[in-house]
């Protein structure tokens, strides 16, 4: 009788352990759905970033500071110098307004003379790769 009671309690313990393992186990099934347009936008942004920072052209920096002021300066510049393109580049902690895409130093210095009349703190820069 005693062996039977031990076997029953052992059997009950074994059943409890097996069922508890099954009760607490989890399966992870994550499904990620992403719009195709997001990947296309990321590819375009990467191309744009490469063209801004890796080309061998000269640029003129007309302003650096916070985001709102740099947007304002870029808009002012575009109104005054419609033929020269401009962009805002973020380098921690400031936003920089870069204008122009000049191939030679002579071109950039000629444009610099005109731009310095309106923006006396303008700097000639050649972005590195």
- Res 79: pLDDT: 92
Q: Where are the domains of the chain?
A: 57-125
Residue 102: its H or E element: strand 94-102
CB 52 within 8 A of CB 89: yes
Q: For each successive 10 residues of the chain (129 residues), what is the average pLDDT? A: 68 71 65 84 79 70 91 91 89 90 89 91 81
Rounded to whole angstroms, the Cα distance separating 77 from 73 reads 6
CATH 3.30.70.1070, applies to 57-125: yes
- Res 97: pLDDT: 93
């Amino acid at each position: 009788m005693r062996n039977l009671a031990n076997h029953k309690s052992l059997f009950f313990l074994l059943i409890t352990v097996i069922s508890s393992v099954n009760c607490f186990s989890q399966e992870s099934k994550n499904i990620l759905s992403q719009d195709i347009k997001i990947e296309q936008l990321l590819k375009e942004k990467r191309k744009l970033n490469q063209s801004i920072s890796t080309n061998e052209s000269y640029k003129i920096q007309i302003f650096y500071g916070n985001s709102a002021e740099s947007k304002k300066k870029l808009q002012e510049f575009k109104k005054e110098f419609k033929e020269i393109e401009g962009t805002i580049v973020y380098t921690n902690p400031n936003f920089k307004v870069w204008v122009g895409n000049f191939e030679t130093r002579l071109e950039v210095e000629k444009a610099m003379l005109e731009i310095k009349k309106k923006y006396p703190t303008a700097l000639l820069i050649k972005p590195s790769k």
